Structure 1
């Protein structure tokens, strides 16, 4: 691979990240959950917390962040969670009903 292409790939890898969280119920009441920030400090934990609050199980969510040159500060966490919540609704994992300002899980 030529050096210019390698530099381009490295640059692209630095401007996006895949933030993940997942929760699985195993047999005999065992549960597994984890998350990954992929360089977006604390974002994975916030996604996992959203899934816990919504009582979602047997689900994995991936939110891809693209850095467009403008720093969003703490607002980025709300945007990441909104993207995840929208995905849960579109997948039929939560209802549109709201109780106490939060969407309910299944």
Structure 2
């Protein structure tokens, strides 16, 4: 069975992004349904797969990272509204039997992602 994981890395400070709220959203056409909310641990990961088994199906998803709250807590000063606050990463799952790893590398003014394994 496939599953979904993530890992948040704070590239400005060179460490994991901990205590970041992530909303997991399933996309169905124009409908967006929040199916789960998780928080990263001290290593910037979730303690278990975000989705797995019957909950992980083929389709479109978003992971919505509340990075602005994390950056504020880290003491990064910025004008409001922040350049980066809530970061949605939309991706497709074409084979729900595989592992999809969707990490976020974030700093106050940039982010990147990729499909890891």
Query: Quick check: which one's strand share is greater?
Result: 2
Q: Which has the larger radius of gyration?
A: 1
Relative contact order higher in (CA < 8 Å, ≥ 6 apart)? 2
TM-score by length of 1: 0.29
TM-score by length of 2: 0.27
Query: Quick check: which one's helix share is greater?
Result: 1
